[in-house]
Structure formats: structure tokens, C-alpha cells
Structure 1
Amino acid sequence: MIVIKSAQYEVYRQDIERLQDHKSVVKGSPLRNLDPYLDDGGLLRVGGRILTGDLLAGSNGPIIIPKKSHVASLLVKYYHQKCRHQGRHITEGGVRSAGYWIMGAKRLVSSVLNSCITCRKLRRKPEIQKMGNLPDFRCKPSPPFTYVGVDTFGPWEVSARKTRGGVANSKRWAILFTCLASRAVHIELVDEMTSSAFINSLRRFVAIRGKVTEFHSDRGTNFVGSTDALNINTINVESQPVRKFMVENGSTWIFNPPYASHMGGIWERIIGTARRILNAIIMESKKLLTHDVLNTFMYETCAIINSRPLANVSIDPTEPSVLSPSVLLTQKTEVDYGPFEAVDLKDMYRTSWKHTQVLANQFWKR
């Protein structure tokens, strides 16, 4: 009570002295509409014909608290924590129910809630992260698969051979190569996660797609040689055979910084798409999953991913074509092939007769 009386006297000194002399408050005072009075203890309370205080608490009227005093902030914080960090309406109701009338309470409660760390964690909207500039290899004009991102995913269990007890299964992994400029995809299947199998997949990839200037990947245990001490059978890019292959082909392997998985989003996103396509193909297929079947599914997955539009599909009738990585690789579109329909002998004769009539008409016109 002493602290509250001191805060009231510091702000409303003139009004308290006039009330002690049994006079009304100053005409321009912010307390005039509250009809204040002094209780037996000398506290400034809200008056009126009907007392609006909490009668169960034994008070005759809410105690007036100046809004700029430190006491008002402490009271709002206390009752805000007491109501388990609820909104402004519940917090303000808790302060009023406790028998306190804070001047300008709505603005003060909003200010306290805005600076509350717990409320920010619970209800604050996510901030919009400002993206950094794209790397040079993403914007540099270059042939497809000049700058390549590499990652592995899997495994899948395939039927290797038949035995007396059933079928022996083995695992297969996939090496994903994605062009960082054209966004084209190439997937190679490997039967083990070793440096030799990885070199063979690199040789097949380079033989089909051409030489690569830079390989980019994360610093996962699949590529970094930190698992030698653990005797884990993984791909080691830092091993001597892989280094020799890089030197002979004039390629450079660049790792992303540690704990920067967001920098590999260009291939992580494609791996998610490839997994969804493979799950659909395997679920619809009724064939026994062998190495050859899985390898075929991988190439079909590449074809589907490479046929995706690189930009939004235009609704302009003057631009009906869709730009995709497959168009950049093969210079062909689906329109070039035409529809595949069932053609029998009658249709062939009918087509040839129409073609003969067209040629005859052109001849007689000449």
C-alpha cells in the first residue's frame, strides 16, 4: 500500500491534496470522469453511485494506478503470468478483478503482451526470411550438367536370386545427379555404398552427360571420409581413387558448409519428388522388384521429373508450349511425336485413299 500511495502521490499530487481538503479534482484532470475519493488508508480509488470494485476482496472501489508507473507494469505482468499468458481481454479482466484500475490499461496491456517472450513463442507469426543471392553457378549460362549437385537416397530391397528357402534379398541405393542450371535430373543405381561403386556410377554419368566442372554436395557421412575409424561401409569422396578420377576429368568437388542443410535444398527437394514417384510406380506395379525392374523405374522417374515445367504454365494462347528440362536436354516435346492411337488395316486404306484424292486434285489444278 505504501508503494501504491507513493506512485499515486507522484502523479496525482494536486488532486490528492484537493480531495484531502474535501474539494473536487481539477477540471482538466484525467481522474475527473472516475469521481475519485480517498479511502481510510489514504488510497485513491474509483468512486461513483455504484461501486465497481471486487466486493469479495473487501475493497470499496478499484485502486487507481498511474499508467506510467512501474507498479502498473508489474501488476500487468503478474496477472498476465497468472492467467497463463492469455490475450489482452483475459489479462485486463484479471487486473480489474483484483481491484486495480490502471489508467490507459488497454494500451499498457498490449505493450506488455507484445514484449512477452513466452507469448511470442506461442502465438507470434513466423518471420519472413530474406533469401540470399543465388550462387554464380545457378545463374551462369552453361551446358546441361556442367555444375551438378549430388546426393544419395534409398535403400530398396530387391530380389537377388532364388534359393531353396525362398528368395534372397539385397539392398540397392540411388545416386542422384541434378543440374544446377537446367534443373535436369539423372539417377544411377548402385548395389553397395562404396567408393568403387560410386566411381562406376560417376563414370556412367560422365559417359552419358559429358564432363562436369563442379560437383556440389553436403558434408554427410556418405561423402566425407570421417567414417573410416568406425568401419562403416560408405562412399568416401576423399579417398585416393575418387580423387584420381576427379583429376583425370578436370572436375572439382565442393562441399557445403557444415550444418547448412538449407544450401542443399535444390537436390533435397528433387529427392522428395523422386520418392513420391517411385512409391506410386512400385505400388501400381505387380512385378517382382528386381535390380533390372528397379533400374527401369529409376529411368522412368527421371523422365517424369525432367518433364516438369520450369516455370508457371502460361494461360496465354500464344504461348502453348511448356519449357522443361527434357526440352533443354533432347530438344523435343510431346507435340513432336503426336498421339499414339490404335490403327488397323481399314484406317490405313482409308488414309491412303484420302491422300491419293488430295494428290489427284492438286495434279488437275496444275
Structure 2
Amino acid sequence: MFLANDQINWHFIPARSAHMGGLWEAAVKSTKFHLKRVLINTSLNYANMYTLLVQIEACLNSRPLTPLSNDAKDYDPLTPSHFLIGESPASCPEVDFLACKSSRLSLYQKLQQLYQHFWSRWSREYLTNLQNRSKWKTNQENLNLGTLVMLVRG
């Protein structure tokens, strides 16, 4: 009754019809693709796998969708986490374990290294999909003062 009063309509896809899922199924496919490559020679127990998947879930739910407001001084993007928990997740800076040999790392550090491998692979693919590319014959949107942009370290 509450949702009907706000004129919210739900649309469901039929069971076992992932091809109708569109955007979110593409995200699932991308996640599986990169997760398989990160875990190719890794054996994890249930607790460690669960820990890694929760970190990856937080990573995927922190991806930018659109600017949160039209205010030029508001640099926060709208993320899926805003819909799930009401705000963007905050993360602490972490030590970079990508260059470390996994034989020298503790179990927690190995999980962080797997997560960082996933993040580096997935973010490269996702960030390139955010950029609109058009042919030379069409008008390209110019950047203006106050436009929200994402900077990527190379």
C-alpha cells in the first residue's frame, strides 16, 4: 500500500531469463569474468571467500553512476550504495600488496591482494565504459567549469 501511494511500480523479469536483465546482468558477467581470473590458482575456504566477496560487493556498489547534485561544489557521485545503505561507503587507505610475493603475505594480506587485483582489473574495464566515445562527425560534449570528472592514476 505504501509503494502504491507513491506510484512505484515493480517490473520483474521471468525466471531463468538473464538475457532480459540487461545492465545488471552485464555487471554480473563482468564480475564473474574478473573474479575467475583473479582466483584462477587460489584455494579459499568459505570464510575467506565470503570475506573477499563482501569486499568486492562494496567495491562494485561504490561505482559512480551520475553526479549526486547539480551543485558545482558537490563532488560526490550517486552510487548504488546510496540506494542500499543511504550513503556512499567510506574506505580507509590500504597498503598496496599488488607487487608483493604472495608467499610472504599473511592470510589477510593475501585476501587484500586478491581484492586489489580484482579492483585493478575491473576498474580499468568499468572506467573506460564510462567515457562516451563518438565518431568525429558528431558533436562531442566539451568540459565546462563545474563538470564532474573522474581522474584515474596511470
Between structure 1 and structure 2, the one with the greater Rg is 1
**Normalization by structure 1: what TM-score?**
0.20
**Larger RCO (CA under 8 A, 6+ residues apart):** 2
Kindly indicate which of the two structures has a greater share of residues assigned to strand: 1
**Normalization by structure 2: what TM-score?**
0.40
